[in-house]
């Protein structure tokens, strides 16, 4: 059941990914990008990585995609240059070919995992609480990285205010 849902979300995500490339206006492309993020969240949740999937929604859809829309609307519709038909076609064909190869490779890896003794690991993986694992790794051995992230966010905040403040 989960495998089928993964494929449904994956195909929808691929379809909207092509839509990002072929969208007529920048706004269409940005909305397709939001769809890609939502579908990938579905894929991640089906694979059992629910925390990362939901963070994808919270951060990318809630903030980054909205910023993309802001940028497109700030720059203005006319100035967003899109490639010609030939460029689009090449991009679509290239991405389908690459994705086909990726899917085959990852299927191989998945079969290896399922046949070997890694099956037990996968069973364990199903009962894993990803939020807990993430927190225990983040706040014990990697606590200095968390503090560094805090400094980075502070720098980003001050930099944005300095650049964007009305003079």
Partner 1 sequence: MKEYGSLLIIIVISVLIGLIVEVLSYMLAKRDTEREKLSAFECGFDAFESSRDKFDVRFYLVGMLFIIFDLEASYLYPFAVTIESIGTSGIVGMVDFILELLLGVIYIYKVEALE
Q: Is 123 in the site for partner 1 (CB under 8 A)?
A: no
Q: Contact with partner 1 (CB under 8 A): which of 14, 20, 51, 92? A: 51
Q: Contact with partner 1 (CB under 8 A): which of 21, 27, 91, 92? A: 27
Distance CA 33, CA 41 (A): 12
Q: Is 114 in the site for partner 1 (CB under 8 A)?
A: no
Distance CA 89, CA 97 (A): 12
What residues numbered 53-112 form the site for partner 1, per CB under 8 A?
Answer: 55, 58-59, 62-64, 66-67, 70-71, 73-74, 76-78
Nearest distance in Å: CB 125, partner 1: 11
Q: Is 2 in the site for partner 1 (CB under 8 A)?
A: yes
List helix spans (H) across the chain: 2-22, 26-46, 50-55, 65-75, 85-115, 118-126, 130-138, 143-164
> What 3-state class would DSSP assign to 136?
helix
């Amino acid at each position: 059941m989960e495998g089928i849902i993964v494929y449904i979300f994956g195909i929808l995500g691929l379809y909207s990914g092509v839509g990002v490339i072929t969208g007529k206006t920048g706004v269409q492309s940005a909305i397709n990008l939001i769809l890609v993020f939502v579908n990938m969240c579905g894929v991640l949740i089906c694979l059992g990585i629910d925390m990362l999937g939901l963070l994808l929604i919270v951060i990318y859809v809630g903030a980054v995609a909205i910023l993309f829309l802001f940028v497109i609307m700030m720059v203005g519709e006319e100035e967003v240059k899109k490639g010609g038909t030939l460029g689009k076609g090449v991009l679509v064909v290239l991405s389908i070919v690459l994705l086909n190869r990726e899917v085959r490779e990852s299927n191989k890896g998945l079969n290896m995992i399922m046949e070997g003794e890694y099956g037990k690991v996968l069973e364990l993986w199903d009962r894993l609480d990803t939020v807990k694992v993430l927190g225990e790794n983040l706040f014990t051995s990697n606590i200095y990285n968390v503090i560094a992230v805090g400094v980075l966010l502070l720098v980003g905040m001050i930099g944005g205010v300095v650049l964007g403040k009305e003079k």
